[in-house]
Amino acid sequence: MAERRPSGINSRRPSVIPYLAGIEKPVLPSIPSQCDVLICGTGLVESILAAALAWQGSRVLHVDANPYYGDTCATLTIEQIKAWCASVNDGSSGFQGFSKAMLHIPYPHRLNSRDYGIDLSPRVLFAKSDLLSLLINSRVYRYLEFQSLSNFHTFENDTFGKMLSTKEEIFTDQSMTLASKRQLMKMMKFVLEYDLPENKEELETHMHEPFTDYVSNRFHLSSQQINELCYALGLAPKPDISTIQGLSRVRRYLVSFNIYGNFPTLYSKYGGPGEISQGFCRSAAVAGATYKLDCALKSFDPDTKTATFEDGSKVKISEKVVCSPSQAPEGSRNVPERNYEITRLITIVEKSCKEWFAEGESAALVVFPPKSLPSNNQFPVQSIIMGSGTGCCPKDQCVWYLSTIEQGERGRRDLESALKKMEESILRESEDGGFDVELTESDVAVQANGGISVINSVKLGKSFKGFVPKEKLTYLLKLMFTQYTSVAPFGVVSNAVFEKAEENDHPGNGPDLKVIYSSMPSTEISYDGVVTEARLLYSKIVGSDDDFFDVDFEDDEDYEHGPSSESAIVDDAEEFQPEMAFEL
Amino acid sequence: MSSSLGSEHRFAQFKLVLLGESAVGKSSIVQRFVKDSFSDFRESTIGAAFLTQTVDLDANTTVKFEIWDTAGQERYRSLASIYYRNAQAALVVYDITQESSLDKAKYWIKELQKQARGGIIIALVGNKTDLEQERKVSSEEAESFAKGLGLLYFEVSAKSGTGVRECFKQIALKMPIEDSLRKRRERKSRTVDLNKRPSTNEQQCAC
Amino acid sequence: MPQSEPQRESGAFLDGYRTEAGILREHGTKKSKKLSKEAMMLRMKKDAANIRRYRKISDDVLTMKENNVYTENALKLTTQLLDWNPEFYSVWNYRRDILTNYMFVGLDVEKKHKLLVGELMFVLSKLKSFPKCYWIWNHRKWCLMNDERANWSAEMQLVAQFFEVDPRNFHVWQYRRFIVQCMKDGMVSEQGKDLLDFEEFAFTTKMINKDISNFSAWHNRSDLVVKLFANSPEASEEKEDSLRKYLEVFNRKSKKDFLELELNLFQNAIYTDPDDSSVWIYIRWLFGDYFLSDLSFKESVDIINRTYQVISELAQLEKEDNHGRDNQWCLKTQVYLLKQLYKVYKAEGTNDYPEDDARQFLEKRNRLIELDPMRARRYTDFSLTSK
């Protein structure tokens, strides 16, 4: 936490000035004249990269054309959202990578701008994932607050259902037959063990056949269970995934269970990637990186290795320039193709939506599998629900983030269709007196060993076909836009995306010769792929990623306990009482 | 007070942020407070996400500060919103030998009023009283300014240590301890501490 | 299920994210974590100093222990030492001696309670990092037994918190039993004691539902069942249906009906996880002499045969799914049930033990010998007529 001393000398000012006057436009010191790496855009990938480079010892100058952190995955207030939409639509530089932003705020006076934190690309964090490990290793987690998210709902036949995905749920469920309990458990086990040597042969035989075929042949699961596995647990963004893709996606969910508790995912409070990128930027700053917002790249001259900014200032760069496509200089020629689309619909509704959350939680996921909506959607619609407990909106309101990789008008139609279903559902469930359908005997089951249980969470599970709401849902904000990315759904950021900067014959002398571009946030609803991309960029600059965040923190607290002898952990098995042993 | 284990000790933690121009001695003040040391040429504190230090208010009350330094992000006015988030106290530092640094402190106070949550305790702190002979900002001027805005006001020397502990102690006295204890008791939200994995022997999974 | 989930580079298990990240592999194996030379020296210095300090305190404390030194300073040193190494059991012993022979002297109940509350806090801080250390739990028990004002309900809350972290921790289960016993000892009313036992029984159900592989929960259940068959609270007091059913069975002391209730539970469990040992061990206990000796000949034959049938169906499914491999738990239990059945016939004094069952017994036993040659000897000695 060194004081970075300003290069200029403090200028003298008259001694008496009115309180707080004239400070809106302070004279800022000029940017450093030299750095090793210049990074433009403070999105999550770029911020992780900045921190990794700074800790490795590079002198990093990290700038953003916007007056806030986060760039393409920022968490914005209402006022910032308005400005953002305007800039997207008028094609301002600094907003490339988005299009067709449509914003509707019916009651502007009811929104206090700063009470909201709206994510441009919301994500959930699996409890066992590379980003989570990195958050811990880098200690960035200490700047943030994390909360659990347990409920993954699947919409099917006009019904919201919740998959039985844990041993506890399967064991205590009263509606499933013993045989299907066994099959479902077998499936779960196989998911965890498919890469063991004894399963190699089976896996290789079926690896490339459709996941749905494989699961239904091998484990005789119902099509509803398969949809839940694929689109809820697996969060698959498209249909027709292969067996290996399906297995790895479901595994991601299962291995994340019971890492921190009885839930698979977490999210960062007050905002997703926007908050986490701020954390990494702070980490980079602690390691010596220099930060400047409101600072857009104008051009880079690879011959003199000089970058020029819109305000006319210049910096000499000894290594590389990395830039987010969203912040490419005007007239750029090397921005990588962004062939993939994500259509997003963000709404703020005047309802707490607590009916969707697990007890004590403030967020949930809802997925609409292909063909489950009246719009006959070809691709799933994924939806993250963030209640007021997430710190993203005031009490008794809720933010819904819907997205799909369906393109254009179809995508927008699917999202509207899903939105309508969510509206019907929440109105039904939150209506006074609970639900209008009487519970019948078959909805309620008496468990062998613990009270009455209502099958499959009836509140959510009841079909609301034909339901006529008594009230209307109030939308406080509705924002729809299209985002573009270079990362294919299910793919990884390709090295090829960065290659352009290396090529010798460039199509012309644009202002971005030899600039390395990142690839824009992927279509993925989790954080997977983010660290991989940051690592790839790191390798591109440093030559290898061996020392990517290989930091040994001197103030390591774990270390202050002093030496202790090997822990004498006693295995529970030793404690078996003789009368409870099973020996013949 | 009846905690389940019969303890009567009150312990509360608060986030405190530092603000002020570069080179006014923000880090030095913290260094003095946390480690009771001073160095004219200080290296950065490796890896410290933030520093912590406790203040005992009386035999039964301990206040712990989680102190966030600007890490240089103040230089181009590029502090992130996470910096201000949930800060319950702020130290706005200026250098009594640099007239302009008080003007700049005023910018940060305004920024705090805009960005931080209501009820934040702000202390205006003039550093470098060891350089009394070079003083350019009079105590009266700074104090009347602080009073006018309802801020705490202190003058300290990070180099000699004069006034540093007292400054933090006065801030600690202003912290809403009962409030924080109550919130902790009532806390039901499932905040997850990423560093605290259940310490089971084997990795358990869903099945 | 194997306990060791193979270690993967986290994040790499997503297939898509591995394929194109050629760079990750290009540079070969990851270098071991390296420190700069200066950092290394610094750390070593710090280490060395720490180790020296630790040795010094450790020597001092053990010398004082030998000389029966009981002073406040000695107590302080044990605190320091245990902060470093909470598993140093002789230091815990010494600490108790100091408390007994010095700190407790002249204290009234109230003052002693205050002192021990502080001690409990210290113990708790150690348990947080070593939740599976005997000596620390022992010390906690000792504190409570020396405190006439011990707060048992607070201890139960603490147990609940430990279960949040690890519901299978045997030490916590044992500690819970200890607390319950202490609570019972402090009760005058016999009904109160029985009610407590039943609450504990209900608790094991809850924990088993959460995790059927929780052996300690099954074990505790078997313990409590025996107690409840001896004495149980009135069923009419219980509002909850399923729990009342159990109470009625305990009130009537009907072991047969208890087996019927449990049949549903374990059937669910073995279908959910056919490889989990806890349930199978519990089943074995259910069909042991404690139960069968109270059942009529007809009742015994009936329930054993039905259970055998349930397991046979599962065994068949398992075999089909596992490329013809038998599930050993099914086999073992089948063999065990057939032998128990034989005993039942024997006790009745008839020689009508079905021939088919005798054949099945031999067939399954021989299959076990094949599958588990390590135990061949034991299985060979195991016959219908063996002890």
Query: Is A568–C22 a contact, with Cβ atoms under 8 angstroms apart?
Result: no
Instruction: State whether A173 and A246 are in the same domain.
Output: yes
Residue B99 counted as domain residue: yes
CATH number, residue B171? 3.40.50.300
Instruction: List pLDDT tens digits, range B126-165.
Output: 999 999 999 999 999 999 999 999 999 999 999 899 999 9
Residue A445 counted as domain residue: no
Containing domain of residue A198, as a range? 166-256
Query: Is A6–B100 a contact, with Cβ atoms under 8 angstroms apart?
Result: no
H or E, element range at B10: strand B10-20
Which residues lie closer than 8 Å to A303 by C-beta, 6 or more apart? none
Q: Are strands B89-95 and B121-127 parallel, antiparallel or unpaired?
A: parallel
Instruction: State whether A252 and A277 are in the same domain.
Output: no
Rounded to the nearest angstrom, the minimum Cα separation between B84 and chain A is 11
CA distances to A283, B91, B116, B124, C11 from B108, in Å = 22, 10, 11, 10, 41
Instruction: In whole angstroms, give the CA distance from residue A262 to residue A182.
Output: 21
Long-range contacts of residues B73-76, Cβ cutoff 8 Å, at least 24 apart: B73/A281, B73/A282, B73/A285, B73/A291, B74/B19, B74/B20, B74/B21, B74/B22, B74/B108, B75/A4, B75/A6, B75/A28, B75/A29, B75/A290, B75/A291, B75/B22, B76/A28, B76/A29, B76/A31, B76/A290, B76/A291, B76/A292, B76/A293, B76/A295
**Which chain A residues touch C241 with a CB distance below 8 Å?**
446, 451-452
CATH number, residue A201? 1.10.405.10
Q: Which of A233, A256, A279 is the last residue of a domain?
A: A256
**Predicted-assembly ipTM surpassing the 0.90 threshold:** no
CATH number, residue A314? 3.50.50.60
Residue B108 counted as domain residue: yes
Rounded to the nearest angstrom, the minimum Cα separation between B118 and chain C is 35
Residue B197 counted as domain residue: no
**Which chain A residues touch B49 with a CB distance below 8 Å?**
139-140, 142-143, 283, 286
Which residues lie closer than 8 Å to C325 by C-beta, 6 or more apart? C318, C319
For residue C154, the chain B residue with the least C-alpha distance is B4
Residue A193 counted as domain residue: yes
Q: Does A167 touch chain C (CB under 8 A)?
A: yes
Instruction: List pLDDT tens digits, range A86-124.
Output: 989 887 765 678 999 999 999 999 999 999 999 999 999
Instruction: State whether A171 and A244 are in the same domain.
Output: yes
For residue C268, count other CB atoms closer than 10 A to its CB.
Answer: 24
Instruction: In whole angstroms, give the CA distance from residue A374 to residue C317.
Output: 40
Which pTM value belongs to this model?
A: 0.80
Would residue C367 be called left, alpha or beta, if left means φ above 0 and alpha means ψ between -120 and 50 degrees? Answer: alpha
Contact A251, A128 (CB under 8 A): no
Instruction: State whether A173 and A248 are in the same domain.
Output: yes
Residue A181 counted as domain residue: yes
Instruction: State whether A232 and A187 are in the same domain.
Output: yes
Chains contacting chain A through 3 or more C-beta pairs under 8 A: B, C
Residue B83 counted as domain residue: yes
Q: Which of A234, A256, A278 is the last residue of a domain?
A: A256
> Got the DSSP string for A319-360?
EEEEE-GGGPPTT-S-PPP--EEEEEEEEEESS--GGGSPTT
Residue A513 counted as domain residue: yes
For residue C26, the chain A residue with the least C-alpha distance is A544
How many domains, chain A? 2
Contact C379, C362 (CB under 8 A): no
**Which chain B residues touch C129 with a CB distance below 8 Å?**
199
Residue A440 counted as domain residue: no
Query: Is B23–A5 a contact, with Cβ atoms under 8 angstroms apart?
Result: yes
Q: Which of A204, A221, A256 is the last residue of a domain?
A: A256
**387 residues of chain C, pLDDT tens digit each:** 333 333 333 322 222 232 222 222 223 333 334 455 666 777 777 778 888 888 899 999 999 999 999 999 999 999 999 998 898 989 999 999 999 999 999 999 999 999 999 999 999 989 988 898 999 999 999 999 999 999 999 999 999 989 988 899 999 999 999 999 999 999 989 989 999 999 999 999 999 999 999 999 999 999 999 999 999 999 888 888 889 999 999 999 999 999 999 999 999 999 999 998 999 999 999 999 999 999 999 999 999 999 999 999 999 999 988 888 999 999 999 999 999 999 999 999 988 899 999 999 999 999 999 998 888 888 888 888 887
For residue C364, count other CB atoms closer than 10 A to its CB.
Answer: 21
Q: Does B5 touch chain C (CB under 8 A)?
A: yes
- C111, C115, C121, C171: best to mutate for the B interface, most B CBs within 10 A: C121
Query: Is B207–A288 a contact, with Cβ atoms under 8 angstroms apart?
Result: no
Q: Does B205 touch chain C (CB under 8 A)?
A: yes
Residue B199 counted as domain residue: no
Nearest to C117 among B5, B199, B204 (CB): B5
Containing domain of residue B116, as a range? 10-186
How many domains, chain B? 1
